[in-house]
């Protein structure tokens, strides 16, 4: 009797309720986080550029374009390459650099370098940092003390200096750059994850799990990790931007991606380039713009994710 | 309070140990030999000379002996000599450190002068056009690589104002006007990024403080906006900002490297960069150690000042 007295009106209240489809949920999220959508769109565009670089780039990025009178330092929107008995090449949209290579093509190919380096370095760094943070936060004691000292020790170094030294010692190859970046990234992640773990540990369900006989690995994997995923994801997206910045700084200083492979940083770098800039400012403007846009979109994404996943951290 | 200070001091010691170990290990990770690398740079490898130099530099000792000897020397004020030029490192530091200090302090000053008022303004006028412009400024400061901003500033100062950075450094006390002219542009560039982070933080802490009950009381009492903000909100909002400004000093140490290289200022960053390029490992080791120790000291100072500002920390 009571049941039907409650159930019928309730059912009536919920009549017509249709579970929102994934599309409408997506649209709803888009409306609430417009900047996040913009950021995701920009990142997807970069991924497309990186994946389809050979098709999308008008010229080969390391080839010096030829034309009567040379093609170095041609301004944007100049005519393309012109070789004997060949039709005119596609327009050089962003100009050519001091050696005569097409800047647009180099920027497109540079997307590959930046994204690959950033993603691999951040995956490595976040993985190590999360592992250290989880173990350190969960077990405490000696593990915690030792790892925290190491984390503090590493964080004492100014980041660029550390990266520079590692790459200088080991040699400027792409693998060494990943490693240098991962070394910079993991301490901060470890710290953040550790404090997240410490606060999650206080919860009743952890105690309940232990009481039921769950082993530490199970508790960590089943109960703690899902609840610290939010800071991991937010941190990772911001570190992606950071990684691009540091990689381009290294390339700028000559210790990053070895030329002639185009990286946005080494397109700007070198004293030789700098001396020629006054006649051809576009050489400096566009690669830097690419870096800024890339970093900006990752920062935006991180901000949006933060708003969605953890409003308490808002505004940092 | 004294206990707090002692605890923090004691804590720093293992951190510095870790730092020194990391640096020593890093330098010795060099594939091949330090001396060989140097000779290869110079152009000729003379085997007999190799052994002699190794012995001279004490590189034929086992690692722990080298480490202890070097640490002892370093801590007693004898960081050794530059392998490249033979000059004692203390002499090199004596000329380089004041430059970096001046640059960093100027950058910090400029950054804070811009960031704090803008942060306050954007918090108080939330969601107005002032807010949007301020936040745009902050985000661009975070996304734009400092070497790009530096290069562009250099480029356009040259193009529009025919300004070139001076080759020779002029001391502050020798010729203040000329010195400031030399430093102001790099300091602004360095301070730009600093001001972006600080502005965001000021804005968020100000927003939080403005939500507090005692602020609402102040409004209810009928106080003018200026009184509410300046007398009640500001002090509390600034505490985290001051601590963050302290940690930003560490960023300045690293950021100064790139700026010093671009603008040709012979400070510590430039010294370290040149040493790294020239494979001058004696100098590199000493420089990195010094900068890392400095960073640990600064962190310590910041932690201590945090305890001083916020009485709750002192008695925990």
CA dist A63 and A43 (Å) reads 27
Residues B278 and B142 placed together within one structural domain of the fold: yes
Identify which of A98, A97, A66, A62 has the alpha carbon closest to the alpha carbon of residue A80. Answer: A66
Q: What is the pLDDT of residues B193-232, one digit of tens each?
A: 888 888 887 887 777 777 888 778 877 887 777 777 777 7
CA dist B316 and B311 (Å) reads 9
Q: How far apart are the first and last CA of chain B?
A: 10
Cis omega before residue B302 (within 30°)? no
Angle between helix A34-51 and A22-32 (nearest 10): 110
Domain presence at residue B316:
no
> For B249-264, what is the mean pLDDT?
80
Which of B147, B158, B296 is closest, CB to CB, to A249?
B147
pLDDT band at A130 (very low <50, low <70, confident <90, very high): very high
> What phi, psi does B144 have (nearest 5°)?
-80, 130
B6 compared with A130, residue with greater pLDDT:
A130
Contact criterion met (CB < 8 Å) for A160 and B155: no
Residues B188 and B220 placed together within one structural domain of the fold: yes
CA dist B252 and B107 (Å) reads 8
Which distant-in-sequence residues (6+ apart) come within 8 Å of A307 by Cβ?
A33, A36, A314
Residues B114 and B19 placed together within one structural domain of the fold: no
Give me the pLDDT at residue B46, please: 66
Residues B60 and B133 placed together within one structural domain of the fold: no
Which of B30, B159, B262 is closest, CB to CB, to A278?
B159
A64-73, A242-251, B251-260: which has the highest mean pLDDT?
A242-251
Give me the long-range contacts of B249-252 (CB less than 8 A, separation at least 24).
B249/B104, B249/B108, B249/B298, B250/A156, B250/A158, B250/B295, B250/B298, B250/B299, B251/A158, B251/B193, B251/B194, B252/B104, B252/B107, B252/B108, B252/B190, B252/B194
Residues B147 and B40 placed together within one structural domain of the fold: no
Give A166 to chain B, closest Cα distance, Å: 7
Q: Which residues pair with A96 in a beta bridge?
A: A102
Which distant-in-sequence residues (6+ apart) come within 8 Å of A175 by Cβ?
none
Which of A189-203, A212-226, B20-34 is least confident?
B20-34
> For B73-91, what is the mean pLDDT?
75
Give me the pLDDT at residue B82, please: 73
Domain presence at residue B291:
yes
ipTM of the complex: 0.81
Give me the pLDDT at residue B132, please: 77
Q: Is the pLDDT of residue A272 over 60?
A: no
Residues B26 and B131 placed together within one structural domain of the fold: no
Which of B29, B156, B159 is closest, CB to CB, to A169?
B29
Identify which of B201, B158, B166 has the alpha carbon closest to the alpha carbon of residue B183. Answer: B166
For the record, the structure tokens of B122 come out as 């954007």
Give me the pLDDT at residue A313, please: 46
In angstroms, the Cα distances linking B266 to A14, A87, B102, B260 are 73, 52, 12, 7
Domain presence at residue B86:
no
Which distant-in-sequence residues (6+ apart) come within 8 Å of A295 by Cβ?
A241, A242, A244, A245, B142, B143, B144, B145
Domain presence at residue B37:
yes
Q: Is the pLDDT of residue A307 over 80?
A: no
Residues B168 and B244 placed together within one structural domain of the fold: yes
> What phi, psi does B157 have (nearest 5°)?
-65, -35
> For A133-157, what is the mean pLDDT?
86
B224 compared with A125, residue with greater pLDDT:
A125
In angstroms, the Cα distances linking B185 to A230, B157, B192, B264, B285 are 40, 9, 11, 12, 30
Torsion of CA B93, B96, B101, B106, to 10 degrees: 180
Contact criterion met (CB < 8 Å) for B147 and A268: yes
Contact criterion met (CB < 8 Å) for A156 and B208: no
Domain presence at residue B82:
no
Q: Of B75, B107, B122, which one is at a domain's C-terminal end?
A: B75
Instruction: Tell me, yes or no, if A292 comes closer than 8 A to chain B by beta carbon.
Output: yes
Contact criterion met (CB < 8 Å) for A281 and B154: no
| CATH number of the domain to which B107 belongs | 1.10.3720.10
CA dist A64 and A61 (Å) reads 8
Q: Is the pLDDT of residue B69 over 80?
A: no
CA dist A98 and A91 (Å) reads 17
Residues B65 and B97 placed together within one structural domain of the fold: no
Residues B160 and B241 placed together within one structural domain of the fold: yes
Give me the pLDDT at residue A122, please: 94
Full domain range(s) for residue B8:
2-75
Give me the pLDDT at residue A316, please: 36
Query: What stretch of H or E contains A239?
Result: helix A225-252
Q: CA gyration radius for chain B?
A: 24
Give me the pLDDT at residue A315, please: 38
Q: Which of residues 122-151 of A touch B (CB under 8 A)?
A: 149-150
Q: Which residues pair with A102 in a beta bridge?
A: A96
CA dist B7 and B14 (Å) reads 12
Which of A103-112, A129-138, B65-74 is least confident?
B65-74
- Measured on CA atoms in the order B62, B63, B65, B69, is the torsion positive or negative? positive
Q: What is the pLDDT of residues B107-149, one digit of tens each?
A: 988 888 888 888 888 888 777 778 778 777 888 888 898 888 8
Which of A173-187, A294-308, B26-40, B253-267 is least confident?
B26-40
CA dist A159 and A143 (Å) reads 25
Contact criterion met (CB < 8 Å) for A157 and B30: no
Domain presence at residue B144:
yes
Q: Are B197 and B248 in contact (CB under 8 A)?
A: yes
Identify which of A61, A58, A66 has the alpha carbon closest to the alpha carbon of residue A106. Answer: A61
Residues B281 and B225 placed together within one structural domain of the fold: yes
Nearest CA in chain A to B31: A170
Which residues from chain A sit within 8 angstroms of residue B25, using beta carbons? none
Instruction: Tell me, yes or no, if B9 comes closer than 8 A to chain A by beta carbon.
Output: no
Contact criterion met (CB < 8 Å) for B139 and A156: no
Q: Of B44, B75, B106, which one is at a domain's C-terminal end?
A: B75
> For A259-275, what is the mean pLDDT?
73
Domain presence at residue B62:
yes
Nearest CA in chain A to B135: A315
Identify which of A262, A251, A285, A281 has the alpha carbon closest to the alpha carbon of residue A108. Answer: A262
Domain presence at residue B80:
no
Q: What is the pLDDT of residues B167-195, one digit of tens each?
A: 666 666 667 777 787 888 889 988 888 88
Please, what is the average pLDDT of chain B?
77
Give B291 to chain A, closest Cα distance, Å: 7
Which of A19-23, B111-115, B256-260 is least confident?
A19-23
Which distant-in-sequence residues (6+ apart) come within 8 Å of B187 by Cβ?
B103, B106, B107, B109, B110
Q: Of B10, B45, B75, which one is at a domain's C-terminal end?
A: B75
Residues B42 and B139 placed together within one structural domain of the fold: no
Give me the pLDDT at residue A314, please: 41
Domains of chain B: total: 2
CA dist B290 and A308 (Å) reads 42
Q: How many CB atoms lie within 10 A of CB A112?
A: 20
Task: Please tell me the number of Cα atoms within 13 Å of A224 on its side-chain side.
Answer: 31
Give me the pLDDT at residue A47, please: 92
Residues B121 and B65 placed together within one structural domain of the fold: no
Give me the pLDDT at residue B19, please: 81
CA dist B176 and B181 (Å) reads 8
Which distant-in-sequence residues (6+ apart) come within 8 Å of A315 by Cβ?
B200, B203, B204, B207, B208
């Amino acid at each position: 009797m009571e049941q039907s007295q409650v159930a019928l009106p309730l059912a009536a209240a919920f009549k017509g309720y249709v579970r929102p489809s994934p599309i409408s949920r997506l649209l709803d999220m888009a409306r609430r986080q417009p900047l996040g959508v913009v950021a995701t769109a920009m990142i997807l565009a970069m991924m497309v550029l990186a994946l389809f670089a050979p098709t999308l780039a008008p010229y080969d990025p390391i080839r010096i374009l030829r034309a009567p009178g040379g093609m170095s330092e041609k301004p944007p929107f100049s005519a393309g390459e012109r070789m004997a008995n060949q039709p005119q090449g596609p327009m050089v949209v962003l100009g050519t650099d001091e050696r005569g290579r097409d800047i647009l093509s180099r920027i497109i190919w540079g997307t590959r370098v930046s994204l690959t380096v950033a993603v691999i370095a951040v995956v490595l760094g976040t993985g190590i940092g999360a592992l250290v943070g989880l173990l350190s936060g969960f077990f405490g004691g000696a593990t915690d003390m030792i790892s925290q000292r190491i984390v503090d020790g590493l964080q004492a170094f100014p980041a660029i200096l550390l990266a520079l030294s590692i790459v200088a010692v080991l040699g400027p190859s792409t693998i060494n750059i990943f490693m240098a970046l991962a070394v910079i990234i993991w301490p901060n992640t470890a710290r953040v994850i550790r404090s997240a773990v410490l606060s999650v540990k206080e919860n009743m369900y952890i105690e309940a799990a232990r009481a039921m006989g769950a082993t530490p690995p199970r508790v960590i994997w089943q109960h703690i990790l899902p609840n610290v995923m939010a800071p991991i994801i937010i941190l990772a997206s911001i570190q992606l931007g950071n990684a691009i910045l540091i990689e381009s700084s290294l390339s700028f200083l000559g210790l990053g991606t070895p030329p002639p492979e185009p990286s946005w940083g080494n397109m700007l770098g070198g004293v030789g380039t700098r001396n020629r800039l006054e006649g051809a400012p576009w050489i400096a403007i566009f690669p830097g713009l690419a870096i800024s846009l890339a970093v900006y979109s990752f920062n935006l994404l991180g901000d949006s994710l933060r708003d969605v996943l953890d409003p308490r951290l808002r505004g940092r | 309070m004294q206990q707090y200070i002692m605890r923090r001091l004691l804590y720093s010691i293992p951190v510095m140990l870790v730092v020194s170990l990391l640096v020593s290990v890093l330098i010795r990770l060099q594939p091949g030999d330090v001396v060989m690398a140097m000779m290869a740079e110079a152009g000729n490898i003379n085997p007999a000379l190799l052994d002699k130099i190794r012995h001279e530099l004490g590189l034929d000792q086992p690692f722990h002996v080298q480490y202890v000897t070097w640490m002892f020397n370093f801590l007693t004020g004898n960081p050794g000599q530059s392998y490249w030029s033979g000059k004692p490192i203390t002499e090199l530091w004596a000329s380089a450190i004041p430059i970096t200090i001046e640059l960093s302090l100027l950058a910090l000053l400029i950054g804070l002068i811009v960031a704090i008022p803008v942060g306050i303004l954007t918090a108080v006028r939330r969601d107005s056009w002032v807010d949007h412009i301020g936040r745009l400024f902050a985000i661009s400061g975070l996304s734009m690589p400092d070497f790009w901003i530096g290069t562009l500033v250099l480029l356009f100062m040259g193009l529009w104002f025919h300004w070139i950075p001076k080759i020779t450094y002029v001391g502050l006390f020798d010729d203040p006007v000329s010195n400031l002219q030399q430093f102001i542009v790099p300091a602004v560039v360095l301070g730009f990024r600093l001001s972006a982070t600080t502005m965001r933080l000021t804005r968020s802490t100000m927003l939080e403080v403005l939500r507090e009950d005692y602020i609402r009381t102040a409004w209810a009492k009928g106080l003018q906006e200026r009184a509410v903000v300046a007398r009640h909100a500001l002090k509390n909002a600034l505490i985290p900002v001051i601590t963050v400004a302290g940690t930003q000093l560490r960023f300045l140490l690293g950021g100064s490297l790139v700026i010093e290289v671009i603008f040709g200022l012979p400070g510590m960053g430039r010294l370290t960069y040149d040493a790294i390029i020239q494979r001058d490992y004696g100098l590199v080791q000493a420089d990195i150690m010094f900068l890392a120790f400095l960073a640990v000291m600064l962190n310590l100072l910041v932690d201590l000042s945090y305890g001083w500002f916020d009485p709750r920390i002192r008695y925990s």
